[in-house]
Amino acid sequence: MKDYYSLKEIEKLTELKYRQLQNRILAVQEKYKNDKTKIYKHKNRWYIHDSILFEFERKRKPINYKRFTTISCKSNYEINYWRIVMKDIDNQIYKNLDKYNRTRYVIELNENGIYHLHFLTTFNNKKLLKKLIKGNIYIKDNDMNILIEDVYDVIGLHRYFRKQNKPTLIKRKFAS
């Protein structure tokens, strides 16, 4: 094991992009400004001591979900129908309610062999969400049951989502 690492070497160790490391290094340098043995720059190259590599670990912030929704129907719609429904609902939330919305969903098969949809969303207004879902072109006039609840136990819901299928996080590139 080495004593000092360059940003390129840390990039391979941490799975962070070089630009992310460059942005993070300023904060790390400020934190260790009184100890030049931990981090220093020589000939335009950074040297980071192995004892502070933890500062460059990838950190993920948990998504703060607010609402849990279940949509079901007595009719047996195909799994692809439910995917279209979910993507359309997510797009409607994005366009009309919250452009920073995050959505995770799973499509399950119940004991009667009928698919239904569960999703978590960061959008918080229950009344507006229910109105949007009820007005959705794929849902209105299709005798759908809609249940919207507050989220209290995200970890438990994630566990529940993995009961049958792998949940899908709808990824969206946010404009700066």
CB 26: neighbour CB atoms within 10 A? 9
Q: CATH number of the domain at 127, please.
A: 3.30.70.1910
Same domain, 43 and 72: no
């004991």: which residue's tokens? 111
pLDDT at residue 175 in the model = 46
Residue ranges of the chain with per-residue pLDDT less than 70 = 1, 165, 172-176
Structural domains counted in the chain? 2
- Do residues 165 and 107 touch, judged by C-beta distance below 8 A? yes
Examine residue 175 and state whether it is found in any structural domain, yes or no.
Answer: no
Other residues' Cβ atoms within 10 Å of the Cβ of residue 114 = 14
With respect to residue 61, please indicate whether it lies within any of the assigned structural domains: no
Report the pLDDT value the prediction gives residue 165, as an integer from 0 to 100: 67
Nearest-CA neighbor of 70 among 155, 130, 131? 130
- What residues make up the domain containing 92? 67-170
